[in-house]
């Protein structure tokens, strides 16, 4: 493990990566501690801000260009911003079950799934975690974990839609 690839990356990639790492750690704390108190709300607000930084900063990372400057991962950024908006709206409207499911889906989808795929060979985080790039296109573990997290996030989204609005 070496931080050199991340430290030598562009400032926008560094901002994106550090915010994502902080959001991943803080999000775990928020998800696994008692809910509804002042600390939960404060940590949740900070997590939402970190996630907004992650999503917005990703819109300025153009290493994989599929559609002009953009790639399919940029769709996830827009979905994340919309999910943050909806999740905060659910909390403010006291639709706590919908708030919980939305935030869980964001954590798993926007951080978990996207995070797993950053470990693919050729990516900066792969070099940070594993040192050098392997000669194969996609680590089978990375692929399996990404698919598993995608299925779990999809299941949470479907469950959230089945819950009553009030």
Q: At what angle do helices 11-32 and 96-106 cross, to 10 degrees?
A: 140
Regions of the chain short of the pLDDT cut 50? 136, 166
The partner residues of 70 in beta bridges, in order of sequence, read 67
pLDDT at position 134, please?
53
Distance from C-alpha of 101 to C-alpha of 160, rounded to nearest angstrom: 5
pLDDT at position 121, please?
76
3 state DSSP class of 74: helix
Q: Nearest 5°: phi and psi at 70? A: -105, 165
pLDDT at position 49, please?
98
Q: pTM, whole model, 2 decimals?
A: 0.76
Domains of the chain, by residue range, sit at 4-162
Please check whether residue 13 is in contact with residue 124, taking contact to mean a CB–CB distance below 8 angstroms. Answer: yes
Distance from C-alpha of 23 to C-alpha of 121, rounded to nearest angstrom: 23
pLDDT at position 40, please?
94
């Amino acid at each position: 493990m070496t931080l050199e690839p991340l430290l030598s990356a562009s400032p926008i990639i560094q901002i994106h990566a550090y915010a994502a790492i902080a959001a991943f750690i803080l999000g775990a704390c928020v998800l696994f501690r008692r809910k509804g108190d002042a600390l939960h709300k404060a940590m949740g607000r900070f997590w939402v801000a970190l996630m907004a930084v992650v999503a917005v900063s990703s819109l300025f990372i153009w290493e994989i260009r599929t559609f002009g400057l953009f790639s399919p991962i940029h769709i996830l950024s827009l979905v994340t911003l919309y999910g943050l908006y909806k999740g905060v709206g659910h909390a403010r409207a006291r639709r706590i079950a919908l708030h919980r499911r939305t935030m869980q889906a964001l954590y798993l989808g926007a951080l978990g799934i996207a995070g797993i795929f950053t470990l693919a060979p050729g990516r900066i985080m792969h070099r940070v975690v594993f040192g050098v790039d392997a000669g194969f296109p996609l680590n089978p573990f990375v692929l399996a974990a990404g698919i598993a997290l995608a299925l779990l996030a999809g299941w949470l989204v479907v469950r959230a839609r089945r819950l009553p609005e009030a």
